[in-house]
């Protein structure tokens, strides 16, 4: 079974990061490298992350296992709360704010897994996400896989389901960027074609388009295996209206680039 490296960039998400980390740790995939990169958060994210790492080493949980009638006593069994094998955890703290893309790259350059992905620190990976997305990679049917998503609010209510199209270059890059954020791919793609462009506002769009234009095989898994946190009521930082508009404008340029490339290669 091939190791999967999951990069988790963190910035001012102290209210969400533990749930995200748990969702990665408790995946049903057997071998995961968790690489957390905190981008000099101004809240207490670093402390929350450090405490979470400590709990993975010593936290206990219990369950009621047997009722002793003679003693009128319910016996409990205690066990380690974090009991998954083959979980490597790396925590890097940026001394200054480098930005989200530079934090992604820092994490991916530390990665050692054959497969990799990043998960934003306020999102949730569903328990079977990695194992499901890994199957086409293991079978050499694809180099890059992606799945559908829920959009959730802070109470984990599902606002909508985002169902993506089955892959074609036309649908996924020429119509609009439609590969989503729930992905898994061969780390060799970065070694061959470069990391995320730190000057690109739509950094994942640019990177995955670059992979596709260089021949990477994409496959859509029509299952909802990821929850994206809505930012409707906290439009700050990367999700401010100004930044989001700039991101959309960059994606428009990338879409036109994809259309020109597609036309040139299908004449």
Mean pLDDT of 57-61: 95
Mean pLDDT of 61-80: 96
Would you state the pLDDT for residue 141? 98
Q: Rounded to whole angstroms, what are the CA distances from 33 to 36, 112, 224, 243? A: 10, 8, 23, 31
Would you state the pLDDT for residue 232? 72
All structural domains of the chain: 4-264 (3.90.550.10)
Residues 6+ apart with CB under 8 A from 135: none
The half-sphere exposure of 225 on its side-chain side, counting CA atoms within 13 A, is 25
Mean pLDDT of 146-175: 97
Chain segment 4-39, per-residue pLDDT in tens:
999 999 999 999 999 999 999 999 999 999 999 999
Give the DSSP H or E segment for 23.
helix 17-25
For strands 32-38 and 4-10, give the pairing: parallel
Chain segment 204-263, per-residue pLDDT in tens:
999 999 999 999 999 999 999 999 999 776 554 555 678 889 999 999 999 999 999 999
Mean pLDDT of 124-148: 98
Mean pLDDT of 170-185: 97
Q: Is the dihedral of CA 99, 102, 106, 108 positive or negative?
A: positive
- Residue 226 near residue 149, CB atoms below 8 Å: yes
Tell me the three state secondary structure of residue 184: strand
Mean pLDDT of the chain: 95
Chain segment 104-126, per-residue pLDDT in tens:
999 999 999 999 999 999 999 99
């Amino acid at each position: 079974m091939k190791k999967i490296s999951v990069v988790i960039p963190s910035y001012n998400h102290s209210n969400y990061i533990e749930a995200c980390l748990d969702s990665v740790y408790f995946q049903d995939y057997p071998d995961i490298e968790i690489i957390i990169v905190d981008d000099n958060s101004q809240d207490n994210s670093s402390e929350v992350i450090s405490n979470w790492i400590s709990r993975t080493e010593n936290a206990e949980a219990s369950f009621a296992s047997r009722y002793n009638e003679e003693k009128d006593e319910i016996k409990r069994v205690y066990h380690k709360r974090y009991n998954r094998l083959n979980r490597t955890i790396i925590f890097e703290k940026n001394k200054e704010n480098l930005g989200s893309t530079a934090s992604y790259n820092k994490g991916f350059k530390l990665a050692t897994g054959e497969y990799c992905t990043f998960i934003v620190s306020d999102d949730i990976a569903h328990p079977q996400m990695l194992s499901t997305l890994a199957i086409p990679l293991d079978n050499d049917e694809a180099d890059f896989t992606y799945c559908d998503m829920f959009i959730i609010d802070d109470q984990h209510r599902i606002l909508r389901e985002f169902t993506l199209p089955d892959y074609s270059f036309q649908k996924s890059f020429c119509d609009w960027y439609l590969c989503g954020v729930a992905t898994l791919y061969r780390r060799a793609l970065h070694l061959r074609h470069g990391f995320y462009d730190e000057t690109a506002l739509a950094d994942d769009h640019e990177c995955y388009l670059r992979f596709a234009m260089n021949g990477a095989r994409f496959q859509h898994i029509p299952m909802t295996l990821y929850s994206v946190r809505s930012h409707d009521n906290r439009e700050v930082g990367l999700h401010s209206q100004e930044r989001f508009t700039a991101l959309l404008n960059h994606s428009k340029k990338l879409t036109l680039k994809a259309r020109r490339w597609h036309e040139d290669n299908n004449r």
